[in-house]
Structure 1
Amino acid sequence: MTRHGHAVVTGASSGIGLAICARLLREGWRVTGLSRGVPALDHPGFAHVAADLLDPAGLAAALEGCAPTALVHAAGVMRSGMLGRLDPAAGEALWRLHVDAACRLADLLAPRLPEGGRILLLGSRAAGGAPGRSQYAASKAAMLALARSWAAELLPRRITVNVVAPGATDTPMLRDPARGPVAPKLPPIGRYIAPEEVAALVAFLLGPEAGAITGQEVMICGGASL
Structure 2
Amino acid sequence: MQRAVVVGNSDGIGLALTRRLLADGWAVTGISRRDSPVSHERYEHRTVDVTDPAYPAAVPADVDLCVYAAGVGEQFDPADLAAQTRAFEVNLLGAARTLEVVVPAMVAAGRGHVIGLSSLADVLISPDAPGYAASKAGLSAYLLGLSTALRRHGVAVTTVRFGFVDTKMAKGGAAKPMLLTVAEAVEVIMRCVRRRPAVVSYPRRMSVAARVLRVVTRATLR
CA shift for structure 1 position 86: 7.0
- Aligned match of 2:33: 36
Contact 1:39 1:48 in 2 (8 A): yes
- Aligned match of 1:196: 183
The answer on 1:132 being equivalent to 2:128 is yes
Contact 1:127 1:141 in 2 (8 A): yes
Equivalent-residue separation in structure 2 for 1:34 and 1:184 (angstroms):
30
Equivalent-residue separation in structure 2 for 1:184 and 1:28 (angstroms):
39
Matches within 5 A, 1:66-145: 66-81=61-76, 85=78, 87-113=80-106, 114-129=109-124, 130-145=126-141
CA shift for structure 1 position 112: 1.1
CA shift for structure 1 position 222: 7.4
- What is the identity percentage for the equivalent residue pairs of Structure 1 and Structure 2? 29
- Aligned match of 1:221: 203
CA shift for structure 1 position 116: 2.9
CA shift for structure 1 position 22: 1.2
Tell me the SS of whatever aligns to 1:54.
Answer: coil
The answer on 1:156 being equivalent to 2:149 is no
Amino acid at match of 1:199: V
Matches within 5 A, 1:145-184: 145-175=141-171, 183-184=173-174
The answer on 1:206 being equivalent to 2:193 is yes
- Cα distance, 1:86–1:202 mapped onto 2, change above 3 Å: farther
Equivalent-residue separation in structure 1 for 2:45 and 2:79 (angstroms):
35
Tell me the SS of whatever aligns to 1:123.
Answer: strand
The answer on 1:45 being equivalent to 2:38 is no
Which segments of 5 or more consecutive residues in structure 2 lack a partner in the other structure?
Answer: 210-222
CA shift for structure 1 position 77: 1.1
- Cα distance, 1:31–1:184 mapped onto 2, change above 3 Å: farther
- Aligned match of 2:176: 186
Following TM superposition, where does structure 1 have runs of at least 4 consecutive aligned residues deviating by more than 3 angstroms?
none
> Aligned-pair RMSD on alpha carbons?
2.0
The answer on 1:25 being equivalent to 2:22 is yes
Amino acid at match of 1:203: M
Matches within 5 A, 1:10-21: 10-21=7-18
Residues 126-171 of structure 1: per-residue CA shift (max 9 Å, x gap): 1121451222100011111111121122112221111111111111
The answer on 1:54 being equivalent to 2:48 is no
Residues 9-43 of structure 1: per-residue CA shift (max 9 Å, x gap): 11110011111111111111111000121222122
- Aligned match of 1:180: none
Which segments of 5 or more consecutive residues in structure 1 lack a partner in the other structure?
Answer: 177-182
Tell me the SS of whatever aligns to 1:173.
Answer: helix
Tell me the SS of whatever aligns to 1:118.
Answer: strand
State the TM-score, normalized to the length of structure 2. Answer: 0.84
Amino acid at match of 1:93: R
Matched residue pairs, number?
Answer: 205
Equivalent-residue separation in structure 2 for 1:148 and 1:86 (angstroms):
34
- Larger RCO of the pair (alpha carbons < 8 Å, separation 6+): 1
